[in-house]
Amino acid sequence: MKKYFSIWLHFAKISLQRLFEYRADFFLWSLVSTGWTIFSLLFYQILFLQTSNIAGWNKQQMLVFAGTYMIIDAATWSIFWRNIQNYTESIFNGTLDFLLLQPIDAQFRLSVRHISFTNVPRLIIGIILLALNLPTVTLSQVLMYIALIFLSMGVIYTLWFFTATFTFWVEKLDNIIEIVPTLRRIWSMPSDIYSGFVGAMLTIIIPLALITTTPTRLLLHQFRWQELVALLTFFIVLFGATRAFFHYSIKKYSGIGS
Amino acid sequence: MWISRKVLLVKRRIKKWLAVFRIGLIQGLAFRAETFLWIILDIFPTFILIASWLAVFHGKTTVGGQSLSQLIIYYLAVLIIINLAEVHFEERWVENVRYGKIDYYFVKPISLPTYIIVQALGSKLMTFVTFLLPFLALMFGLIHAGLITGFTFTFSKLFVFLAFLLLAFIFDSILSFFVVFAAFWMDEASSIGHFKWMVTGIFGGTLAPLTFYPQWIQKIAAFLPFKLALSTPAQLLARNSVLHSDLRELGLFFVYVVVCVFIIRFMWKHAQYKYTSAGG
């Protein structure tokens, strides 16, 4: 565990060095990230220009929700996007061979090699939104909130890695990694907006709608244990399935040059 | 004699365009699974938008002067425009310019911008074929669920919408060319592509009809052409008939497109002199 943490720190350090090397690049992509954040916030603003509450969420609660969404989104995008992209590319062009020879867990190596810092403005905006709209919370709530954020990130990561692993089985489908970025629209809105079969599907069977809702409810003193159980169970099952699917796919992998 | 030479020139030009168009079509066919997935990924956010508005409409018949049905038709029209008129060639060509991979196109008997746009048109035809089935399934699903009611079809509406669609395709291609040509002067032009999507998304009306936006955005959007490419034709489909103002806006859009074509030609002329590549 210590070894892996130290490796992750080294990778983070290298990524930080790259940031200082390409400063203009960092500046422009940070602007892009800020722009998309404003774009997302505009949609919430448009909705609240027409109504005072959405599925029981008032504007202030919704801003806490938006803050949580920004934090989760910025963190997952920063840590995983480039790695998932490189993962699928390495399968298509055969460079995965070299990586599999390294004396380290292949999934870990594939998942943490790069860290992007261009989403820091999005993260900061998220934290500001929380700070400005948060009701009084206790320290234990904050700690539990952080744990839930990590759980949500874990769900997104495993889902992303799982879908990206299909690359082993398809000939050319570059946009397979875009599935999860599109799916995040589901957790960009509170789970209460989904009703009927879709609602049951997205909160119980595949509880993607809870990714942002559950941590937010905790801060709003509306926490539901059932949601945590659903999310945690889904994560454990999906993580196990992803590991198994990855190892099975590796066995079938022959490399482009072999 | 002079006329026959002109006819011959036009014939040759059309032959070249058809060849490039075919390349676009073949590429679209080769990557049909990818195209299909893109379409599904483009359709998906519409579900979330509809779910969000269903929550807003809870117990109300109209919101912001629009019924739920009108709003859904609006989003479906936006979906058609995004899939059939928006182009994404800037990502690939920014990379090509940056890494000096366009030398080859300078010696072709067709200019690079023409090559790109005709090829994009070929790919769009393939997109249209792939888009049709999932879109119809979505539409029939919404009609079956009783979410679309009172939609009237008229040929005049279709004709004006198609005219807007054609101009929107040219306009979006021009915006993409702005991004591609920026790569001749700067290293990280690919990030500018994101600003193109943001600006068209905000001022075009991707999120909702422009009348739903905050006043200050509406005021800015009124002076910009982006709404003509998206919000105006989408609103036209959601309404019962073509208004006089629609035709006026179509004319205005045409003028915008012509002006932008001149700017693009000017930029391309200067970009060619700016370009250098290693190994030549």
| Residues B126/B32, Cβ–Cβ less than 8 Å | yes
Q: How far apart are CA A258 and CA B164, in angstroms?
A: 52
Are B41 and A47 inside 8 Å of each other by CB?
Answer: no
pLDDT at B279: 60
Q: Which of A37, A213, A35 is nearest to A125 (CA)?
A: A37
**A198 vs B: CB within 8 A:** yes
Q: How far apart are CA B268 and CA B274, in angstroms?
A: 10
CA distance A25 to chain B (A): 6
Stated length of chain B: 280
Q: What are phi and psi of A58, to 5 degrees?
A: -85, 175
CA distance B76 to chain A (A): 17
Express the helix, strand and coil content of chain A in percent, nearest 5 each.
Answer: 80, 0, 20
Handedness of CA B95, B99, B105, B111 (dihedral sign): positive
Which tens digits make up the pLDDT trace of B97-119? 888 888 888 888 888 889 889 88
Is the pLDDT at B268 greater than 50, yes or no? yes
Q: How far apart are CA A10 and CA A222, in angstroms?
A: 40
Q: What are phi and psi of B253, to 5 degrees?
A: -65, -40
Mean pLDDT for the stretch of residues B201-224? 92
CA distance A237 to chain B (A): 25
| Alpha-helical runs (H) found in chain B | 2-30, 32-57, 68-85, 90-98, 103-106, 112-144, 155-182, 190-204, 215-222, 226-229, 231-238, 244-274
Instruction: Tell me which residue in A39, A54, A185 faces B48 most closely, judged by beta carbons.
Output: A185
B150: left (phi over 0), alpha (psi -120 to 50) or beta: left
Question: How many folded domains does chain A comprise?
Answer: 1
Q: Which of A176, A154, A180, A151 is nearest to A165 (CA)?
A: A176
Q: In Å, how far are B18, B80, B83, B168 from B86, measured between CA atoms?
A: 21, 10, 6, 8
Mean pLDDT over each residue of chain A, to the nearest integer = 90
- Residue A91 vs residue A70, higher pLDDT: A70
Q: In Å, how far are A91, B81, B131, B146 from B27, measured between CA atoms?
A: 22, 21, 16, 39
Are A55 and B58 inside 8 Å of each other by CB?
Answer: yes
Mean pLDDT for the stretch of residues B41-70? 88
Mean pLDDT over each residue of chain B, to the nearest integer = 87
pLDDT at A258: 41
List residues of chain B with CB under 8 Å from any CB of chain A. 31, 33-34, 37-38, 41, 44-45, 48, 51-52, 54-56, 58, 63-64, 187-188, 191, 194-195, 198, 201-202, 207-208, 212-214, 217
Mean pLDDT for the stretch of residues A149-176? 90
Is the pLDDT at B84 greater than 50, yes or no? yes
- Global ipTM: 0.87
Cα–Cα–Cα angle for B264, B206, B24, nearest 5°?
Answer: 50
Range of the structural domain that residue A241 is part of: 2-257
pLDDT at B160: 92
Stated length of chain A: 258
pLDDT at B58: 85
